[in-house]
Structure 1
Amino acid sequence: MLTVLASSWALLFGILLLLVGNGLQGTLLGVRGGIEGFDASTMAWVMSAYYVGFLVGSRRATAMIARVGHVRVFAALASLISAAFLIYAVAPNPWVWIAMRALVGFAFSGVYVVAESWLNDAATNETRGKALSLYMVVQMLGIISAQFLLNLANPAGYTLFVAMSVLVSLGVTPILLTASSAPAYRTTQPMSLGALFRISPLGCVGTFLLGGVYAAIFGMASVYGTVAGLSVAQISAFVAAIYVGGLAFQVPVGWLSDRMDRRKLILALTLGGATVTLGGAALADNYTVVLILGFVIGGVANPLYSLIIAYTNDFLAPPDMAAASGGLLFINGTGAMLGPLVIGLLLTRFGGWGFFGYVGGLFALMGIYAAWRMTRRAAPEETAVAYTAVSPTASPVVLELSREVAVERGDALRATESGSGDAAGDATEPV
């Protein structure tokens, strides 16, 4: 791990700064929108626009890179993000914010592709799993630390928006100065959604519902806090608790995933999350309960994405896994795009309870569907791949990287279980 950190620290540090800026963006807009008098439904359109842009950008990144190269795409898109962050403060208008959020989502999808391509190119077969682990941890730490920056200045002013812009500009510098020559960028044509559904109905339905949950976590959590009357400090701590929970649950969920029927684990996580979220919603006037709910929601939602991908891969041959991951990425993005619109309506109609009712309801639906699918076919005789954690914002580059790592770890895990070696020691390493 130290060897990987020593060779890629500048790249990872740049990514950290980019994630701090992006993590601060989602929370700050939710708070500033309340100050500007935007209602929850209006903010839902603003938050949804990010995922529209992200989906479009994920489709266009390949063509842009092929036409002008990694460096130019990275620098141009980062400049657009930096400018958009400043325009938020200059023009606090819902239509402007919707346009800027879509632009930021589009630009970040390309930035992730380029940065992750460089990270993948810098890793070797021996270090690829550890590089992926560090990347995931850096992403989570960036978003967590961003929440505490929210308390350093008045959200009604310009300072925090300038800080976001500066963070992105600074994040670009170490990446561009240390990146190697442009890596080869290969993409896999996504599997058709119909074929993917026939292979794994639970994977498709679960990923769609989880996209809706993730949209609640990344954008609408701060809008909930504003509607519920939480202070800026309380909102930042609530959002941070979500990501701390996601980081804390990765290792135990990964360990269990490689040792039991993954559908049973999906069922336990979702129904457990639904019970806690819906039950705790009645006590959400207590801020301590709110923090606990945030921790549980993040702890369930973040590992579930990786768990569902691993479950889907159990029914695929290794050459088909990358194509399936591309399809799941699109399904997840579609759910994330629609999620804020539903939450906005629920917050407008039911107040703060609507946020927890929405998340708990999606967890319950996922659990019920998983239970029904368990009656339709038997579990695979053995897991094809090991659990390898990835973020729902991961680009196709990281999904391909995670597939390679998961296959290698799965082979090592089966070898260990059969008594032929102990090479799977890091199979549940947090990623």
Structure 2
Amino acid sequence: MASVIKIYALFLGSALLMFGGGLQGLLLSVRGAEENFSLLALGLIGTGWSVGFVAGSLTVPLVVRKVGHIRAFSVMAAIGTITILLNLLWINDVSWIVLRALSGFCFAGAAMIVESWLNEVADNESRGTIFSIYTTINMASSTMGQIAMSVTGTGGYIPFVVGAISFICAVLPTSLTSSPQPRPLTSARLDLPLLIRTSPVAAVAAFCCGMTNGAFGTLAPVYGFEQGMDASGIALLFAIAAIAGAIGQIPFGRLSDRIDRRQVMVGLGAFAALVGLLVVLLNPGPGWVTFTLFALYGLAANPLYPIAVAHANDFARDGEFAKVAGGMLLIYGTGLALGPTLASMLMGAIAPMALFMVTALFHAGVAGFAFLRMRARKSIDAAARAPFQPMGPETPETVALDPRADSDGPAAPAEHEAGVPEELIETPEDKSDVQDAKI
């Protein structure tokens, strides 16, 4: 019974964290546009968060080793709370870029500590269930935080205070726990040669998805603002895309369990690119057309990265899932940081709908490269694959919690490497030479 209570307390802490994160991310984009921040500044705010998030994923494990999990989590939650309140007190673009980076750092650290506790209580039998519930709670809570902006609005102090309350309340479940300290946090590891040998298409998809998700997540609210939508309309528009994307992960992920996952990636990438082009060509104003296009975009775009992770795991050798997924996480984070800046510059030079030129270009890149790889490498038989797992925002601890990290990934036999350039084929000798280097 105590274990059950502890798990649900951690789920509550994660839900509060994600609620505040969803509200803050959407709020800063829209409020920044209302304050007449330049498009480049708005893009750099998104870049700042991604840079801070990656930095937190790398350095917070060192902090936890020095002061312990509970103290480190309390520090992260406190600084995150202070940060969103400083967003209210210092309303200027430079301050928000710096504060957003600090917010990303704290958010990564707090999430990793919660996930570390979940890793501690999960065993091989319950890990899959715990991971699925955790992912569902995160996606739902983040979406609820975005929807909350339709109630709080963007003016005044209320939305900032609501976000601060959510962040500081997230500290309660871990602060009140009487359980022993969890194991040390997982450090992400960089082994890009291994990732490329294992699945070149997964590496390319990780970067392209980072570019598109970073650009869309930061600047789609600005696009809605430029189209004349109010806070309620923007919140609903963004929530529809997020809900459709969460729903889409299940059927498309299960489909990828049955057929070549790259076929699904080709279809989703091409469809997401088509939706982006339709937004560019139609440039619809507020109305049902925009809401429909955003829903279709989320439906196609959001499942791409989780399917790419699953495809990489299909070809990973025994015990390599964490290394491969950690490498993808770094590449994905790099795209998240670059995407908002590139899209903001194009939006400023052309028009707000240029955001979807960026998403269309990189989604087409995923589809095109996946199609080419299908001609160079055979697929793993469906029976030999690890099942698809829905995924939300990731840290290195999320990778460790993923049940696929404990399972022996199917070793790709020689016939599955047919058509692959020799330099991309991993041999036992290659494997022994790969060194784990921290990012």
Q: Same fold (TM over 0.5)?
A: yes
The amino acid of 1:389's aligned partner reads: P
Give the C-alpha shift of residue 157 in structure 1. Answer: 1.0
> Within the alignment, does 1:12 sit opposite 2:11 as a pair?
yes
> Within the alignment, does 1:387 sit opposite 2:388 as a pair?
yes
Report what 1:344 is aligned to: 344
Distance 1:381 1:148, change over 3 A: closer
Distance 1:188 1:319, change over 3 A: farther
Q: For the residues of structure 2 that align with 1:189 and 1:352, how far apart are their CA atoms?
A: 36
The amino acid of 2:327's aligned partner reads: G
Report what 1:166 is aligned to: 165
Question: Which shows bigger deviation, 287-296 or 104-113?
Answer: 287-296
Question: Which shows bigger deviation, 74-83 or 30-39?
Answer: 30-39
> Within the alignment, does 1:121 sit opposite 2:120 as a pair?
yes
The amino acid of 2:239's aligned partner reads: A
Q: Is 2:88–2:160's contact at 8 Å kept on the other side of the alignment?
A: yes
Report what 1:197 is aligned to: 196
Q: For the residues of structure 2 that align with 1:191 and 1:405, how far apart are their CA atoms?
A: 16
Report Cα offsets for 1:36-55 as digits up to 9, x if no partner: 11021111111110001111
Q: Secondary structure at the match of 2:181?
A: coil
Q: CA RMSD in A?
A: 2.2
Q: For the residues of structure 2 that align with 1:23 and 1:263, how far apart are their CA atoms?
A: 31
Q: Is 1:343–1:358's contact at 8 Å kept on the other side of the alignment?
A: yes
Q: Is 1:143–1:240's contact at 8 Å kept on the other side of the alignment?
A: no
Q: Secondary structure at the match of 2:376?
A: coil
Give the C-alpha shift of residue 205 in structure 1. Answer: 0.7
Q: Secondary structure at the match of 1:230?
A: coil
Distance 1:108 1:188, change over 3 A: closer
Q: How does 1:25-424 map to 2 (within 5 A)?
A: 25-178=24-177, 180-185=179-184, 187=186, 190-286=189-285, 287-382=287-382, 383-391=384-392, 393-404=393-404, 407=407
Q: Is 2:11–2:134's contact at 8 Å kept on the other side of the alignment?
A: yes
Q: Secondary structure at the match of 2:229?
A: coil
Report what 1:416 is aligned to: none
Give the C-alpha shift of residue 85 in structure 1. Answer: 0.3
Give the C-alpha shift of residue 180 in structure 1. Answer: 2.5
The amino acid of 1:140's aligned partner reads: M
The amino acid of 2:369's aligned partner reads: Y
Report Cα offsets for 1:125-144 as digits up to 9, x if no partner: 22211111111111111111
The amino acid of 1:133's aligned partner reads: S
Q: For the residues of structure 2 that align with 1:194 and 1:224, how far apart are their CA atoms?
A: 38
Give the C-alpha shift of residue 166 in structure 1. Answer: 0.8
Q: Is 2:255–2:264's contact at 8 Å kept on the other side of the alignment?
A: yes
Give the C-alpha shift of residue 101 in structure 1. Answer: 0.4
Determine what percentage of the aligned residue pairs are the same residue: 31
Distance 1:406 1:183, change over 3 A: closer
Q: For the residues of structure 1 that align with 2:315 and 2:3, how far apart are their CA atoms?
A: 32
Q: Secondary structure at the match of 1:319?
A: coil
The amino acid of 2:33's aligned partner reads: G
Q: For the residues of structure 2 that align with 1:153 and 1:110, how far apart are their CA atoms?
A: 27
Question: Which shows bigger deviation, 338-347 or 227-236?
Answer: 227-236
Q: Is 1:390–1:399's contact at 8 Å kept on the other side of the alignment?
A: no
Q: Is 1:200–1:315's contact at 8 Å kept on the other side of the alignment?
A: yes
Q: For the residues of structure 1 that align with 2:339 and 2:238, how far apart are their CA atoms?
A: 17
Q: Secondary structure at the match of 2:235?
A: helix
Question: Which shows bigger deviation, 254-263 or 76-85?
Answer: 254-263
Give the C-alpha shift of residue 327 in structure 1. Answer: 0.8
Distance 1:191 1:168, change over 3 A: closer
Give the C-alpha shift of residue 313 in structure 1. Answer: 1.2
Q: For the residues of structure 2 that align with 1:273 and 1:93, how far apart are their CA atoms?
A: 34
Unpaired segments ≥5 residues, structure 2: 412-439
Q: Secondary structure at the match of 2:303?
A: helix
Q: Is 1:203–1:308's contact at 8 Å kept on the other side of the alignment?
A: yes
Q: For the residues of structure 2 that align with 1:198 and 1:317, how far apart are their CA atoms?
A: 11
Question: Which shows bigger deviation, 61-70 or 172-181?
Answer: 172-181
Q: For the residues of structure 1 that align with 2:404 and 2:70, how far apart are their CA atoms?
A: 26
Give the C-alpha shift of residue 186 in structure 1. Answer: 5.3
Give the C-alpha shift of residue 202 in structure 1. Answer: 0.6
Q: Secondary structure at the match of 1:314?
A: helix
Q: Is 1:310–1:388's contact at 8 Å kept on the other side of the alignment?
A: yes
Q: For the residues of structure 2 that align with 1:403 and 1:218, how far apart are their CA atoms?
A: 28
Q: For the residues of structure 1 that align with 2:186 and 2:361, how far apart are their CA atoms?
A: 35
Q: For the residues of structure 2 that align with 1:262 and 1:122, how far apart are their CA atoms?
A: 32
Distance 1:163 1:127, change over 3 A: same
Distance 1:170 1:309, change over 3 A: same
Q: For the residues of structure 2 that align with 1:6 and 1:305, how far apart are their CA atoms?
A: 32
Give the C-alpha shift of residue 283 in structure 1. Answer: 2.8
Distance 1:177 1:189, change over 3 A: closer
Distance 1:166 1:395, change over 3 A: same
The amino acid of 1:397's aligned partner reads: E
Q: For the residues of structure 2 that align with 1:3 and 1:223, how far apart are their CA atoms?
A: 45
Q: For the residues of structure 1 that align with 2:3 and 2:215, how far apart are their CA atoms?
A: 33
Q: For the residues of structure 1 that align with 2:356 and 2:230, how far apart are their CA atoms?
A: 18
Q: For the residues of structure 2 that align with 1:119 and 1:338, how far apart are their CA atoms?
A: 31
Distance 1:111 1:353, change over 3 A: same
Question: Which shows bigger deviation, 299-308 or 18-27?
Answer: 299-308
Question: Which shows bigger deviation, 122-131 or 309-318?
Answer: 122-131
Give the C-alpha shift of residue 209 in structure 1. Answer: 0.5
Q: For the residues of structure 2 that align with 1:354 and 1:235, how far apart are their CA atoms?
A: 18
Flag as ranges the 4+ runs of structure 1 deviating above 6 A. 2-5, 408-411
The amino acid of 2:278's aligned partner reads: G
Question: Which shows bigger deviation, 95-104 or 342-351?
Answer: 342-351
Q: For the residues of structure 2 that align with 1:73 and 1:10, how far apart are their CA atoms?
A: 18
Q: For the residues of structure 2 that align with 1:256 and 1:276, how far apart are their CA atoms?
A: 21
Q: Is 1:390–1:402's contact at 8 Å kept on the other side of the alignment?
A: no
Q: For the residues of structure 1 that align with 2:396 and 2:178, how far apart are their CA atoms?
A: 20
